[in-house]
Structure formats: C-alpha cells, structure tokens
C-alpha cells in the first residue's frame, strides 16, 4: 500500500498546532503497520533545516509562474518526505501561513495550489518513479489535491481528504480561480465555488473519494447547521463517504513515565511524582504554595476554545482556593484579558503568552485539571495528553472531547470509568457548574485518586487509528 500524505507541518521541525503532532505520529504508525507512506510538504525553511539526506528527485515547470520547481526527497521525522522547493513561495520567515503582522500571505492561493498540483503529478509516477495508491490530503491547504486528480481523469490514485478543523477553509476571491490551472467548469456549485468565492476546503470535500474527520463525534456534528460552517449540506449529501477516525497520542513523546521534561517521572501505579511536578510548576510560574487544585490551560487563545468562559469563572475559581496556569497565544483581546487577570490575582493566576513545548509538558504534568471548554473541537489532543498525565480534563461535550472523556458522575466514579468532567452548554453557567463539581471531588482525595487512576489507564495510541486508515485505504485501492 503506497500512500502520499499531503500536509504542511510536522513536529518538531514546524508546529503551529495539533496538526503537526498528527503528521509526526500517524505516518510512522502507518509505516509500522506495513504501508509505504511518504510525506509531501512545502519546503518551508524549518522543514528544510530538519530534513536529512535531501536529494533532488525531479525538476518541473509549474503553471503558477516563477522559476522552475524542484521536488526533493529526504527523511523527516523518520519518514521519507518529498519537499516542494519553490523559493518564491515558501522561503519566507516565521509562520508558514501568515506574515509577521498576522496577515495571510496575498499569494496563499498559489502557494497551496502548488502543493495540490504537485500531489496530483505523482499519479503517473513521473516523480522519483513512485506512484501512490492513495493520495491522502490534510485540511484546506491540501484541499486542491483531489481536485487536480479529478481534473486529470483516467487512471489515478484514489484520494482521501481529512478535515482537521472545518472552521478554516482557505477562501479566496473569485478572480483567483483563473490562477489555479483548473478546468473552467470546476468553479461551480458542484466544485470550488462557495458563495461566489474560491474555497479550498470545499474542493477537498467535493472531489475526494472519501472524507475523514479526526473523531467520530466531529464527523456527525459537521453534518449539522450548528457545526457545519456552511458545508453541512454538502457533507450530508456525501454522508456515505464520511468517516470519523479518532486521533491518537504518541506515547514516545507524551508519557509521564519517560518524559525527560518533568521534575520527577511517574505513572498510574506510582503517581507520587505528580505532586513534585505540581510543586515545580508552581515555583516556575510564581503561583503560591496552596492546598487547592491547579487548573491548567494549554491552548490557542481563541473564541473557538471557549476561553472567554474561563475569564467568566475566574473569580469563582480563585474564591474556591484553586489556581490557574495558562500557556498560549492568539486573539489580542484574550491575551490582554488574561494578562489583566494575572495582575488582578497575583499568586493565583499565571499566564505565559506564546508556546513552549517543554513548558506544555510541565504544565500538563503539574496541573490537577486541564480546561478545554471548546465551543467546537474536531478532536483535541491536549485532553488526551492530560489523561495520560493524570490531569483530569474538564471539557465541553463536543466532538473528540465527548469521544475521549467520561464524566465524573456518581455512577461513573462508582464503576471506575470516570476520567474527567463534562458539561454541555457553552456558557459561563455551564462551565461554572463543572468547576464546582471538580472542586467538590478534589475535597475527597480518595475519590480523586480513583478517577485519576482510571484516566491514566486510558489508551489512545495511534495503532488503532492506523488500522482504521489502512482498512479505508484497502476499500479504495480498487479505484487506484
């Protein structure tokens, strides 16, 4: 089974979010299961620096102007990787999607069209003599890959398109379509057109042979008006082609028993080291030594993540004797509000803006509860990291959060299946009710330890996801 895995970032070389973690772990798990998986990525500077043994596989002229494009073959994160070397598009500093001021690059439609176009060029084996059975494209940046394959016609690899977050769609003005080197009739309601604009996400959803999402819950939700971001009608029309496959956790990176970033390692059988990690976190972040729980947040600071709700319950959280430790960056209004909260509650609230991989590990290990009150959450990875580290997730009942966390109801605690705290309504009142239940459970340390033990024994390894993807690929292989 030959699979071309088309995306934009890979941990640890380049990470702006959870997509990079998935791209580092899932291809390796698929290769371990016997598939010949190879990455296709833009040659962003960070990826070029991390690539090993790079050699030129082919040089070609693209339809998007500029100098000729090289495709390099290298090793990246332990997986063979093709890097699209087009300096005029990818050799830029900082974030791969936006400039230093946070504005999208004005030629993003060309930059990511090239990614999809090169993916489709693999169909005839003209790149390195390797022809995939499956082209697996991820999120809107790779959304044109299924469209370019469809435009080729004739014999071609089958295509899979994975939605990691439907809220980001890659939308461009209608006049940009002329730049994309696609048949004119592809700009229609049954194609890339969406409310008079070019939409890369819609291209993937329409032209891919199969669609996957990163959790079963999200696969159901995006077929509804509430969570469908305008694509629910298209997704309902293709319901038979939509599958939800839960993301996993890379146990080589996220494991408190082996994590070199921690003050003291621990596991569910010997959890004593977690107290040492909590003391170390408090010292590092300037939190007071206290008897209450530490609530952690490791997140992009956006309204999607429901962090405005956290601001709404902060007075009650502090009044309960709890503390908040936050790591993240995002919307300026939220950043400023949390910085103001830190000034208002010294010793009880600590905020670190930005992202620090080591501190993320230490914060999850040192917190007692991890807050993930998202308005929508395709899968979520931090709640699964938190489960492994015994930081009980407090989550809203949406998407992958609902698929991975079982509420600490009286019945679930008694049955030893409770793993966290779940609330339903995306409101301050809903989150506040879950906060009170968490604080109440904290007051009974015997019961708390019981729930923490059940949480740490959960297994969300990538082996299961890899098996399900391989089953999907095998179903599609006759199309290839």
pLDDT tens for the chain, residues 1 to 480: 999 999 999 999 999 988 999 999 999 999 999 999 999 999 999 999 999 999 988 999 999 987 789 999 999 988 999 999 999 999 998 789 999 888 999 999 999 999 999 999 999 998 999 999 999 999 999 999 999 999 998 889 999 999 999 999 999 999 999 999 999 999 999 999 999 999 999 999 999 999 999 999 999 999 999 999 999 999 999 999 999 999 999 999 999 999 999 999 999 999 999 999 999 999 999 999 999 999 999 999 999 999 999 999 999 999 999 999 999 999 999 999 999 999 999 999 999 999 999 999 999 999 999 999 999 999 999 999 999 999 999 999 999 999 999 999 999 999 999 999 999 999 999 999 999 999 999 999 999 999 999 999 999 999 999 999 999 999 998 655
Contacts of 273 (CB under 8 A, 6+ apart): 256, 262, 263, 264, 265, 266
Query: Do 440 and 470 share a domain, yes or no?
Result: no
Question: Is 303 among the domain residues?
Answer: yes
As a whole number of angstroms, the distance between CA 24 and CA 30 comes to 11
Query: Do 283 and 414 share a domain, yes or no?
Result: yes
Euclidean distance between the first and final Cα of the chain, in Å?
11
Question: Is 257 among the domain residues?
Answer: no
CATH number at residue 229: 3.40.50.2000
Distances (CA, A) of 259 to 180, 389, 460: 46, 10, 17
Query: Do 408 and 466 share a domain, yes or no?
Result: no
Query: Do 61 and 160 share a domain, yes or no?
Result: yes
Question: Is 447 among the domain residues?
Answer: yes
pLDDT digits (tens, 9 = 90+) for 167-190: 999 999 999 999 999 999 999 999
pTM, two decimal places: 0.93
Query: Do 309 and 161 share a domain, yes or no?
Result: no
Q: How many Cα atoms are found within 13 Å in the side-chain-facing hemisphere of 452?
A: 26
Query: Do 324 and 392 share a domain, yes or no?
Result: yes
Query: Do 168 and 101 share a domain, yes or no?
Result: yes
Query: Do 372 and 451 share a domain, yes or no?
Result: yes
**In this predicted structure, what is the pLDDT of residue 479?**
57
Q: Is 227 exposed, middle or buried (0-12, 13-18, 19+ CB in 10 A)?
A: buried
Q: What is the DSSP string of 66-122?
A: SSPEEEEEEEETTEEEEEEE-HHHH--SS-SSB-TTSPBPTTHHHHHHHHHHHHHHG
Contacts of 222 (CB under 8 A, 6+ apart): 163, 166, 213, 228, 229, 231, 232, 235
Question: Is 48 among the domain residues?
Answer: yes
Query: Do 229 and 354 share a domain, yes or no?
Result: no
- Domain limits for position 190: 2-248+462-479
CB atoms within 10 A of CB 298: 25
Residue among 140, 234, 273, 219 at smallest CA distance from 403: 219
Query: Do 347 and 400 share a domain, yes or no?
Result: yes
Q: Are 297 and 371 in contact (CB under 8 A)?
A: yes
Question: Is 43 among the domain residues?
Answer: yes
Query: Do 201 and 325 share a domain, yes or no?
Result: no
Query: Pairing relation of β-strands 52-60 and 69-76?
Result: antiparallel
Q: How many domains does the chain have?
A: 2
Question: Is 267 among the domain residues?
Answer: no
Query: Do 111 and 165 share a domain, yes or no?
Result: yes
């Amino acid at each position: 089974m030959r699979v071309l895995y088309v995306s934009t970032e890979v941990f640890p070389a380049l990470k702006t979010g959870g997509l990079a973690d998935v791209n580092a772990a899932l291809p390796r798990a698929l290769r371990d299961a016997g598939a010949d998986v190879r990455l296709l990525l833009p040659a962003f500077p960070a990826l070029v620096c991390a690539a090993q043994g790079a050699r030129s596989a082919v040089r070609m002229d693209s339809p998007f102007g500029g100098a000729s494009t090289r495709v390099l073959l290298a090793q990246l994160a332990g997986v063979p990787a093709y890097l699209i070397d087009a300096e005029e598009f990818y050799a830029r500093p900082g974030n791969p999607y936006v400039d230093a001021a946070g504005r999208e690059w004005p030629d993003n439609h060309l930059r990511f069209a090239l990614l999809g176009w090169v993916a489709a060029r693999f169909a005839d084996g003209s790149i390195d003599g390797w022809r995939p059975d499956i082209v697996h494209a991820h999120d809107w940046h790779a959304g044109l890959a299924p469209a370019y394959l469809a435009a080729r016609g004739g014999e071609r690899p089958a295509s899979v398109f994975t939605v990691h977050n439907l809220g980001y769609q890659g939308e461009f003005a209608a006049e940009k379509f002329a730049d994309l080197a696609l048949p004119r009739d592809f700009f229609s309601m049954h194609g890339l057109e969406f409310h008079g604009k070019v939409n890369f996400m819609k291209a993937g959803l329409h032209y891919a042979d199969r669609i996957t999402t990163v959790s079963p819950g999200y696969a159901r939700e995006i077929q509804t008006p509430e969570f469908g971001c305008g694509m629910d009608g298209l997704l309902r029309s293709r319901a038979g082609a939509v599958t939800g496959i839960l993301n996993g956790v890379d146990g080589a990176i996220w494991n408190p028993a082996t994590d070199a970033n921690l003050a003291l390692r621990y596991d569910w059988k010997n959890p004593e080291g977690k107290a040492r990690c909590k003391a170390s976190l408090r010292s590092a972040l300037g939190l007071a030594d206290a008897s209450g729980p530490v609530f952690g947040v490791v997140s992009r600071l956006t309204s999607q993540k429901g962090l405005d709700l956290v601001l709404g319950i902060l007075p009650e959280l502090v009044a309960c004797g709890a503390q908040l430790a936050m790591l993240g960056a995002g919307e300026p209004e939220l950043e400023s509000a949390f910085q103001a909260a830190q000034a208002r509650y010294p010793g009880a609230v600590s905020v670190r803006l930005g992202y620090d991989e080591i501190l993320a590990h230490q914060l999850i290990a040192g917190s007692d509860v991890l807050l993930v009150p998202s308005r929508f959450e395709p899968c979520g990875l931090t709640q699964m990291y938190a489960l492994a580290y015994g930081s009980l997730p407090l989550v809203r009942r949406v998407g992958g959060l609902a698929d991975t966390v079982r509420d600490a109801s009286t019945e679930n605690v008694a049955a030893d299946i409770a793993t966290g705290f779940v609330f339903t309504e995306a409101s301050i009142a809903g989150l506040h009710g879950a906060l009170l239940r968490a604080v109440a459970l904290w007051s009974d340390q015997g019961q708390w330890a019981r729930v923490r033990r059940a949480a740490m024994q959960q297994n969300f390894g990538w082996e299961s996801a890899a098996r399900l993807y391989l089953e999907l690929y095998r179903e599609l292989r006759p199309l290839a």
